[in-house]
Amino acid sequence: MRKLLIGLGVLVVVLIAADRVAAVLAARAVAERVQSDFGLADRPAVTAHGIPFLTQVARGKYSDVQVRADGLHTGELSRVSVNVRFRGVHAGLADIVRQQISSVPVDQVAGSLTIPYDVVAAVSEIPGLSITPTADGLTLRGTVSALGQSITASVSGRVTLVGGDIVITPGSVAGAGSALPPQVASALASRFSIHIPAGSLPLGLTVDDVRAGSHGLSVTAHVDQVVLHTDGSVTSRLNK
């Protein structure tokens, strides 16, 4: 009996080890595919959560796959960092083995993104614009034309959601070394408004919250019931 129990114990250890090895190999394959599909310079970090993993493989449904990547380019945004979790990923074992997957249904994609401030500045199309975080929002500095004048100004700003889009709304305006007439200040402020459409985010994500982070705009977002296609497009499962 003692030998039997020892043998069963060894078998359990072997099965657990095999399960984790399978999870690691699957994560590596996903990382290589994500790197290729999105043209990333570095391989993303992929973790297949959930135990036992081999049971998920047999069912063709993976409970929780986490992807962390830097340098993502999407639309007019570049060098976006993402940390997202794909929950309820549907991929049949036979299709995986034959490498015949053209689309993958996912129950939910949720996570966080960081959009660097210099990338946000590039969206504004204001030459030389700098954006820095403050205790209560942002400070934008740049040179713009207003009322026939080229003026260097410093503008306070706050980031909000407007209809699902990310918007930086300008506040108070200060000129470089001189007070500005109200008419000029008002004209300047409007030039510092920045708008990032929701459609600019990867994976069809919908923004839940946005704030000014230390290195860029920190965004939390999610999307439910989508299909990820190998050509990079995303469609909704709810429209079928």
Which residues, including other chains, have CB under 8 Å from residue 230's CB and lie 6 or more apart? 37, 101, 102, 103
The dihedral formed by the CA atoms of 213, 217, 222 and 227, expressed in degrees to the nearest 10: -140
Segment 4-48, tens digit of pLDDT: 333 333 333 333 345 555 565 566 666 666 666 666 778 888 888
Question: What letter does residue 44 receive in the DSSP assignment?
Answer: P
* 198: confidence class by pLDDT, cuts 50, 70, 90: confident
The DSSP bridge partners found for residue 79 are none
Q: Give yes or no for a contact between 168 and 189, defined as CB atoms under 8 angstroms apart.
A: no
Q: Which two tokens stand for residue 172?
A: 């108070």
Q: Give yes or no for a contact between 39 and 32, defined as CB atoms under 8 angstroms apart.
A: no
pLDDT value of residue 221: 94
pLDDT value of residue 24: 58
Mean pLDDT for the chain overall = 78
Q: Taking residues 190-214, what's their average pLDDT? A: 89
Domains of the chain, residue spans: 2-111
Q: Give the whole-angstrom CA distance, residue 239 versus residue 74.
A: 24
- The reply to whether the predicted model has a pTM over 0.85 is no
Segment 167-192, tens digit of pLDDT: 999 888 776 556 666 777 777 778 88
Q: Taking residues 89-107, what's their average pLDDT? A: 72
pLDDT value of residue 228: 80
4-18, 57-71, 154-168: lowest mean pLDDT where? Answer: 4-18
Return the percentage of the chain with pLDDT > 90, whole number.
Answer: 28
